[in-house]
Amino acid sequence: MFEGRIARFDAPREPFTIEHVQLDEVGPGEVLIKVSRANICGSDLHAWHGTFSTKGLGGQLPTVLGHEMVGSVAALGEGVTHDANGKSLTVGSRVAFPTFHPCHMCRNCMAGRRSVCENMQMPMLGRADQPPYFVGGYGDYYLLPARAVIYTVPDTLSDDLAAGANCALSQVMHGLERVEQGFGETVVVQGAGALGLYAVAVAKARGAGKVIAVDGVPERLDLAKAFGADHVIDMNEITEPAARAKHVRNLTDGRLADVVVEVVGHPAAIDEGLKMVGLFGRYVEIGNINIGQKIEFEPARFVFSNKTMVGVSLYDPIVLSRALDFLDRYQHQLPLERLAAATYALEDINHAFDAAESKRDIRASIVP
């Protein structure tokens, strides 16, 4: 029997409530995770606001939010002995796992499209008022379902660095892999929060010849430079979208960008970003997850210039293994410590969400 706390989420804009619950047993194939750290991701904030509903994904309320996390093995279900790379798992092993759990058996999974599994399980979708209770990262424990992909975290990586690997970093890595961003290409990153900073670093690691970051917060733009951006565009200095697109054209000798990555999360960024994409360019849309928001779209601009837009939600699970390797390799070359999250105890989760919403911190993290 395992006893612990959860931060129960009953409705948008309602305070979280701390509840004590218990899990009677860990079933075959399951893994119980002792949560070490769970970041407050943008989608958690959207869910808290009510602008991102998990109902469309099969979710119900009340639930437990939180998915960008890292922890250690508290209990192994029958049959679980190794991680997805073949490394031994024991109680106490530090682990990370994707933010979603595909079935590996449906038509999409069998075709290698696990990010659109027909039987997807995810944190934030299970009910917090019935077993197993530990259905999200904001609690003492999180129960991984049977057949979940899990990776051992390198001993050289801190929990703070590893916690962001399974969402922000893996997402942008997968996005750039999907559009085959390559050596010498120009990449524009719209937004310089955690996702954007990771996108800058990954693009440079993949051989981008020039990376341009766009944001309106000077501190974030300074960080973008530290993460490898060759140029930054301050939206407070160049206030008009058309002028910013023109500036990108000037920075690229008139060619515009080969790849543009949107991680702002506002529909208005899309129209601007599309105007920054050059001939045969690719637009990677990651940030806009709020259903119902719309933009005007001129198809001819895509047709005549042979542009491509790729929507990226989730990632192939193996990307997380590459993300952990990336962090391990570059942790002393990039100022990743400047992304350190402000930490809050589980009982202070309401203060943590207030801080995350106000953007007082680049990231906020719950440390049970």
Q: Does one domain contain both 11 and 135?
A: yes
Q: Does one domain contain both 11 and 142?
A: yes
The sign of the dihedral angle between the CA atoms of 163, 340, 349, 345 is positive
Q: Does one domain contain both 98 and 238?
A: no
| Residue 199 counted as domain residue | yes
* Count of CA atoms in the C-beta half-sphere (13 A) of 219: 8
Q: What is the pLDDT of residues 209-227, one digit of tens each?
A: 999 999 999 999 999 999 9
> What pLDDT is recorded for position 45?
86
Q: What is the CATH number of the domain that holds 222?
A: 3.40.50.720
For the chain, list the strands marked E by DSSP. Answer: 2-8, 17-23, 31-39, 69-76, 94-96, 141-144, 151-152, 186-190, 210-215, 231-234, 257-262, 277-285, 308-311, 342-344, 364-366
- B/e letters for 19-33, b = 16+ CB within 10 Å, e = fewer, are bebebeebeeebbbb
| Residue 321 counted as domain residue | no
For residue 218, report the phi and psi dihedrals to the nearest 5 degrees: -55, -40
For residue 270, report the phi and psi dihedrals to the nearest 5 degrees: -70, -50
Across 333-349, average pLDDT: 90
Q: What is the pLDDT of residues 78-130, one digit of tens each?
A: 999 999 999 999 999 999 999 899 999 999 999 999 999 999 998 888 899 99
| Residue 57 counted as domain residue | yes
Q: Does one domain contain both 290 and 242?
A: yes
Conformation bin of residue 226: beta by default, left when phi > 0, alpha when psi is -120 to 50: alpha
The strand order across the sheet containing 277-285 reads 231-234, 210-215, 186-190, 257-262, 277-285, 308-311
Q: Does one domain contain both 196 and 302?
A: yes
- Tell me how many domains the chain contains: 2
Q: Does one domain contain both 185 and 288?
A: yes
Q: Does one domain contain both 33 and 135?
A: yes
Across 21-39, average pLDDT: 97
Q: Does one domain contain both 177 and 145?
A: no
Q: At what angle do helices 194-205 and 218-226 cross, to 10 degrees?
A: 20
Q: What is the pLDDT of residues 221-257, one digit of tens each?
A: 999 999 999 999 999 999 999 999 999 999 999 999 9
pLDDT band at 34 (very low <50, low <70, confident <90, very high): very high
Q: Does one domain contain both 145 and 55?
A: yes
Q: Does one domain contain both 207 and 291?
A: yes
| Residue 94 counted as domain residue | yes
> What pLDDT is recorded for position 298?
83
Q: What is the pLDDT of residues 154-192, one digit of tens each?
A: 999 999 999 989 988 999 999 999 999 999 999 999 999
Q: What is the CATH number of the domain that holds 85?
A: 3.90.180.10
Range of the domain at 38: 2-156+331-366
The reported pTM is 0.91
Across 317-339, average pLDDT: 93
Q: What is the dihedral of CA 284, 290, 296, 298, to 10 degrees?
A: 30
> What pLDDT is recorded for position 53?
58
CB of 159 closer than 8 Å to CB of 70? yes
Across 310-334, average pLDDT: 95
